[in-house]
Amino acid sequence: MIRINLLAVERGVARRSASSLIPAAHRVTIGASLILLGTALVVGWWFWSLRQSSHRLDADIARAELETQQLRSVLAQVQKFEARRAQLQQRVTLIEQLRRGQTGPVHILDELSKALPDRMWLLSMSQRGADFTLEGRTTSLTGVSDFVASLQASPWFGPVEILDTAVDPTPAGDIVRFTLRATSENPDAAAPAAPVAGRGAPPAR
């Protein structure tokens, strides 16, 4: 007995009949449409990716510009600080120079104060080079002599010369006007070096 599967034959015929219902032109159109849809999706995704990258780049550029402005502000502050530091350094150098230059006059004024006897006062003091001119008043000529002797005994003064003296009578007593000229010296610069044994030093006895 021979059996024939008519269902399989019918299914194949049905499939062929279903595919034959879509014309070839329509199938080409559908394929082209699918390709265009896929291309549109790819292009859309690529455009979206480029847009996101553009946003990130814009954010990076804005952040970089903000950092640049901050750096410029810091750089300007650093430049101001450097200029201020240079000015302060110049002032410190000038103060040190003035302080070194004032060492001599300070010692000279100190020596004048020490040498000044009682009942004598100085009215003016002028300087030209190493020479000082002193004008003052005292109650006796002996005070002028004592003042001259004290100045000559000081290591900061050399020869002292009396330029002028005059006696002015007053109801309280005579007042002696005097003018002196003294030459200043620096004992530190003029101090002789200590002799070295064996080089000109006198032999010990």
Tens digit of each residue's pLDDT (9 = 90 or more) over 32-78: 888 888 888 898 898 898 888 888 888 889 889 888 888 988 888 99
- Same domain (yes/no): 129, 91: no
Whether 46 is in a domain gets the answer yes
Whether 183 is in a domain gets the answer yes
Q: Which pair of structure tokens corresponds to residue 140? A: 């006796």
Average pLDDT over residues 97-116: 74
Residue after which a domain boundary falls, among 79, 101, 123: 101
- Same domain (yes/no): 153, 84: no
Residue 156: its pLDDT value, please? 86
- Same domain (yes/no): 13, 68: yes
Domain span at residue 38? 8-101
- Same domain (yes/no): 13, 82: yes
Residue after which a domain boundary falls, among 57, 75, 101: 101
- Same domain (yes/no): 58, 126: no
pLDDT surpassing 80 at residue 15: no
Residue 195: its pLDDT value, please? 43
Average pLDDT over residues 159-165: 90
Q: Could you read off the pLDDT of 137-147 as tens digits, one per residue?
A: 998 889 999 99
Residue 130: its pLDDT value, please? 83
- Residue whose token pair is 């350094």: 89
Residue 20: its pLDDT value, please? 57
- Same domain (yes/no): 54, 128: no
Give the other-Cβ count within 10 Å of 144's Cβ.
Answer: 20
- Same domain (yes/no): 67, 148: no
Coil/strand/helix, residue 119:
coil
Q: Over the chain, what is the mean pLDDT?
A: 79
Whether 22 is in a domain gets the answer yes
- Same domain (yes/no): 82, 115: no
- Same domain (yes/no): 90, 147: no
Nearest CA to 121 out of 134, 136, 142, 133 is that of: 136
Whether 145 is in a domain gets the answer yes
The backbone region for 70, taken as left when phi is positive above 0, alpha when psi lies in -120 to 50, beta otherwise, is alpha
Number of domains making up the chain: 2
CB-CB contact of 132 with 108 (8 Å): yes
pLDDT interval class at 29 (50, 70, 90)? confident
Residue 134: its pLDDT value, please? 92
pLDDT surpassing 50 at residue 202: no
pLDDT surpassing 70 at residue 113: yes
The torsion angles phi and psi of 22, rounded to 5 degrees, stand at -95, 120
Whether 127 is in a domain gets the answer yes
Whichever domain contains 122, its CATH number is 3.30.70.2830
